[in-house]
């Protein structure tokens, strides 16, 4: 006998309410998910044997600070939590609330592979379940302290990003930021231009365009080698110069690589590769 429509609606409403309560409970008891709901930063350490990366995700701005560090082979008995905490300290402090999450990797972290998945999954949806399956295998093997719901939440957040949402910063082997206070105070509009495209006059043309936009171009010269891809470099933890330079050249899709250990009086530099579209200079 068919149930009355009113009873069906009540059952559907009850099922929806139970599902909502279950999701709320998962969020409450999953630390990283709880931080995401609050809009707080979440830090995740990707721990390799000889190199590691700390990803600090800022939900409000949808950006990720990626601190890369080469290091010696971990000492015997060092816990994954301790390694993640040490990496967080080397990057300039403990994560918000003192929480530190980690995922142990069998090889060195490969950000290019991460970006490939982030940039490519919309064109090839098969990448998404494959990446999700890899993440959950890490959980099953005990290689992470993130809960299953945390992994799902973070994966959902990161699936919205591309490589241009990342800001890369190198951390010294000894675990301290490699730049001095004086180096971090580099003038924001002081920039360098290097031509690695093989096209004659491109550095001068780019320098002229940047000066017209208010930049102080202190270097415009050829790069020692030919490069396929254009790069934006920052030379201090203050990435304002690199962000302005990237926007001025219409290169918002590029990630920014911060190299505080590389001495320069400039705040940022662009290395123009063979992929650079010179038509951008006419806009």
In a domain, 145, yes or no: yes
Looking at residue 261, what is its pLDDT?
62
User: pLDDT at position 123, please?
Assistant: 66
Which pLDDT belongs to residue 102? 85
Which pLDDT score is estimated for 82? Answer: 82
Measured CA to CA, the distance from residue 235 to residue 257 in angstroms comes to 9
Specify whether 214 is located in the same domain as 122: no
Range of the domain at 223: 181-282
| pLDDT (0 to 100) of residue 176 | 44
Q: Which of 132, 131, 59, 54 is nearest to 90 (CA)?
A: 54
The answer to whether 208 and 221 have CB atoms below 8 angstroms apart is no
Residues 195, 154: one domain? no
Residue-level pLDDT at 119:
64
Is residue 251 within 8 A of residue 231, CB to CB? The reply is no
Residue ending a domain, among 146, 171, 196, is: 171
Domain boundary among 138, 171, 204: 171
Whether the full predicted model's pTM is greater than 0.75, yes or no, is no
Which residues lie closer than 8 Å to 159 by C-beta, 6 or more apart? Answer: 118, 121, 128
Judge if 241 and 264 occupy the same domain: yes
Report, as ranges of residue numbers, the positions in the chain whose pLDDT lies below 50: 1-2, 10, 14-29, 95-97, 173-186
Predicted local distance difference test score (pLDDT) of residue 5 = 55
């Amino acid at each position: 006998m068919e149930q009355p429509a009113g009873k069906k609606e009540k059952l559907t409403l009850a099922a929806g309410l139970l599902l909502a309560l279950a999701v709320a409970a998962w969020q409450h008891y999953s630390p990283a998910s709880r931080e995401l709901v609050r809009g707080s930063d979440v830090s995740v350490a990707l721990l390799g044997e000889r190199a590691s990366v700390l990803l600090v995700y800022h939900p409000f701005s949808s950006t990720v600070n990626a601190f890369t560090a080469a290091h010696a082979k971990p000492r015997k008995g060092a816990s994954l939590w301790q390694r993640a905490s040490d990496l967080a300290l080397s990057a300039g402090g403990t994560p918000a609330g003192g929480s530190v999450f980690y995922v142990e990797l069998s090889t060195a972290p490969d950000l290019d592979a991460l970006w490939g998945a982030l940039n490519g999954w919309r064109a090839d949806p098969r990448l998404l379940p494959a990446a999700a399956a890899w993440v959950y295998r890490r959980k099953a093997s005990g290689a992470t302290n993130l809960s299953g719901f945390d992994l799902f939440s973070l994966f959902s957040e990161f699936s919205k990003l591309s490589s241009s949402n990342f800001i890369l910063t190198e951390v010294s082997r000894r675990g301290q930021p490699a730049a001095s206070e004086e180096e971090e105070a580099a003038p924001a509009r002081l920039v360098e231009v290097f031509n690695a495209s093989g096209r004659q006059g491109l550095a001068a043309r780019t320098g002229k365009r940047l000066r017209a936009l208010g930049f102080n171009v202190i270097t415009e010269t050829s790069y020692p080698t030919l490069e396929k891809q254009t790069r934006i470099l920052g030379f201090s933890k203050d990435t304002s110069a690199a962000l302005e330079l990237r926007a001025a050249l219409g290169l918002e899709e590029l990630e920014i690589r911060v190299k505080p250990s590389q001495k320069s009086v400039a705040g940022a530099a662009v290395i123009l590769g063979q992929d650079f579209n010179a038509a951008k200079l006419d806009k």
